Structure 1
Amino acid sequence: MDIDQLKAIDTHVHAEVSCCQPPDLFAKEFDEAADKYFGTVLKQGRRPTIPETIEHYRERKIGFVMFTVDCEANIGRRRISNEEVAEFAQNNADIMIAFASIDPHKGKFGAREARRLIEDHGVRGFKFHPTMQGFFANDRMAYPLYEVIAEYGLPAVFHSGHSGMGSGMRGGGGLRLKYSEPIYLDDVAVDFPDMKIVIAHPSWPWQEQALSIALHKPNVYIDLSGWSPKYFSPELVKYANTLLRNKVLFASDFPLIRPDRWLEDFDTLDIKPEVKPLVLKENAVRLLGLRTEA
């Protein structure tokens, strides 16, 4: 990446449509409920492919981190291949970075996959969604995965707080919000102090927990995905402007929220001029190790 030519780096972008396998419609109702919840605008009546997403971000000169969510055990839907995401990132390294997602229920076999993805496919981090994957972040079954991630010094992103997935469905689609309470990440931050942990989203209704953990643990960051900035709490804005100014990341949750909308609403916040470039790009540059002098 030519960092200086990028306007921003979006650290939370989803791969939604595979180019290598037919869509698995087993859990299509979850997508439809999420689109309704977020008011997602779908072009051509569907979510974008990975190449369409790449073009969307390249046109805007915004770098991005992309991943899928492997929730095969809990939801039963086949994931998009981590290798597919990684191959697109390798072929579009000017704009894209690949993270992988591995269901923690895969245990040591999942840890083997993580090592292979890092060594053979250049994956630069990992994504977890405790609510969709059905586990507490501090469950020891996930620790073999964390050990590999920590060994290679890579970041791990964890969904936190309320979930648009399952919202409005009967019984919430069987998804349990308790798994994404941020406090369980405090244990992970203690047990893996050299693994960078990103608490994804404003963590409503547990926002103060996330702020506290990020303040207390040097290896914990917060990404601002999944919400329009105009809905950020005053507490979140205050800490983003001050004590957490170096640990808060621009993130959209594309395609559910598009970067244009996020950035437009971010401009309405009372963010100090010297803090904006940190949130929009420089904190991500440091987190991702994109240049040693950052």
Structure 2
Amino acid sequence: MNFDALKAFDIHTHAEEPCCGHRDDGYDEFQAGMAKYFRNPAGKDGMLPSVQDTAAYYRERNIGCVIFPVDAERETGFRRYSNEEVAEIAAENSDIMVPFASIDPAKGKAGAREARRLVREFGVRGFKFHPTMQGFFPNERWAYPLYEAIAEEGAVMLFHSGQTGVGSGMHGGMGMRLKYSNPVHVDDVAVDFPDTPIILAHPSFPWTEEGLMVAQHKPNVYIDMSGWSPKYFPPIFVHYANTLLKEKMLFGSDWPAITPDRWLNDFEKIEIRDEVRPLILKENARRILGL
């Protein structure tokens, strides 16, 4: 990857489709709900973009990206996209892609073994957690064997935070409980794994200030700005991005729910200082990922 030549680096993109054949029961309804929430045609009709499609899209725009599946099999019943397959396709597109993986912490020691193997054999650089979809508080001790493996392998941890578009407006919120994604629960993880980079995904609404608090207080905690159009960022979020957290904020889109075209267009219109924009768009990601 020629990082210097990239226009930007998107640290939050999704590999959505299951790898093992047809979509699972309920998956079409789930994706249609997502498309409605984000006002995005993706998911309403046909298949979502594959990892190869995603690579081509980002290459055309000269934007690098991190890509990952989400392992929420236990809570949703939807098969995860194979971590190995995502990593292999990312390796084929290493000029533009960096692979992350996802493992439900409830998989315990088996999950910890998988994490070590993915880093050592597949070049995975980080792991995505979605407390709301996976049904756990990030600071629950039974999740720590997986965290310990990730920390020992020198990988990054990325935690969804705040309200999620997943299940929004659907019957019973699709069974998802928002309480799990208050970013304050990640504060304990940052204390216990102080040498591991930890990224809070999204502006953490309605706990935006809690997310800013954790990122300001813990040197190893960062925030990605994905999942929202920048035009909806709360003023305090923009203020911290311009000042105390200017070296801790990261461009992320939430592809395919939000496209980088839309996000970057709206980002140009908000009051971010000229000297801060390149930090957010790619330089902070370069430092965290060692690119």
Q: Indicate yes or no: 2:194 matched with 1:193.
A: yes
- Tell me which residue corresponds to 2:95: 94
- Tell me which residue corresponds to 1:35: 35
Q: Point out the more displaced range, 32-41 or 64-73.
A: 32-41
Letter in 2 for 1:14: H
- Tell me which residue corresponds to 1:153: 154
Instruction: State the distance in 2 between where 1:41 and 1:31 align.
Output: 10
Instruction: State the distance in 2 between where 1:204 and 1:76 align.
Output: 27
Given that 1:220 and 1:247 are in contact with CA atoms closer than 8 Å, whether structure 2 keeps it comes out as: yes
Given that 2:42 and 2:257 are in contact with CA atoms closer than 8 Å, whether structure 1 keeps it comes out as: no
- Tell me which residue corresponds to 1:209: 210
Give, in angstroms, the shift of residue 23 of structure 1.
3.2
Deviant stretches of 4+, over 6 Å: none
Instruction: State the distance in 1 between where 2:77 and 2:143 align.
Output: 19
Q: What's the % identity of the aligned pairs?
A: 62
Instruction: State the distance in 1 between where 2:12 and 2:179 align.
Output: 22
Given that 1:130 and 1:179 are in contact with CA atoms closer than 8 Å, whether structure 2 keeps it comes out as: yes
Give, in angstroms, the shift of residue 195 of structure 1.
1.0
Alignment of 1:1-294 (within 5 A): 1-18=1-18, 20-28=19-27, 29-42=29-42, 45-290=46-291
Given that 1:89 and 1:98 are in contact with CA atoms closer than 8 Å, whether structure 2 keeps it comes out as: yes
Question: 1:42-85 CA distances to partner (integer Å, 9 max, x unpaired)?
Answer: 39743111111100000000000000000111111110000011
Question: 1:150-189 CA distances to partner (integer Å, 9 max, x unpaired)?
Answer: 1122111100000101111111111000000011000000
Give, in angstroms, the shift of residue 26 of structure 1.
2.3
Normalised by the length of structure 1, the TM-score is 0.96
Given that 2:69 and 2:83 are in contact with CA atoms closer than 8 Å, whether structure 1 keeps it comes out as: yes
Given that 2:24 and 2:79 are in contact with CA atoms closer than 8 Å, whether structure 1 keeps it comes out as: no
Given that 2:11 and 2:65 are in contact with CA atoms closer than 8 Å, whether structure 1 keeps it comes out as: yes
Given that 2:33 and 2:169 are in contact with CA atoms closer than 8 Å, whether structure 1 keeps it comes out as: yes
Letter in 2 for 1:110: G
Given that 1:17 and 1:23 are in contact with CA atoms closer than 8 Å, whether structure 2 keeps it comes out as: no
Paired residues, what number?
A: 289
Q: Point out the more displaced range, 24-33 or 68-77.
A: 24-33
Instruction: State the distance in 2 between where 1:99 and 1:181 align.
Output: 22
Instruction: State the distance in 2 between where 1:227 and 1:109 align.
Output: 34
Superposition CA RMSD, Å: 1.1
Normalised by the length of structure 2, the TM-score is 0.97
Question: 1:5-54 CA distances to partner (integer Å, 9 max, x unpaired)?
Answer: 10000000000125x52133223122111111111123974311111110
SS in 1 for 2:12: strand
Unmatched runs of 5 consecutive residues or more in structure 1: none
Letter in 2 for 1:116: R
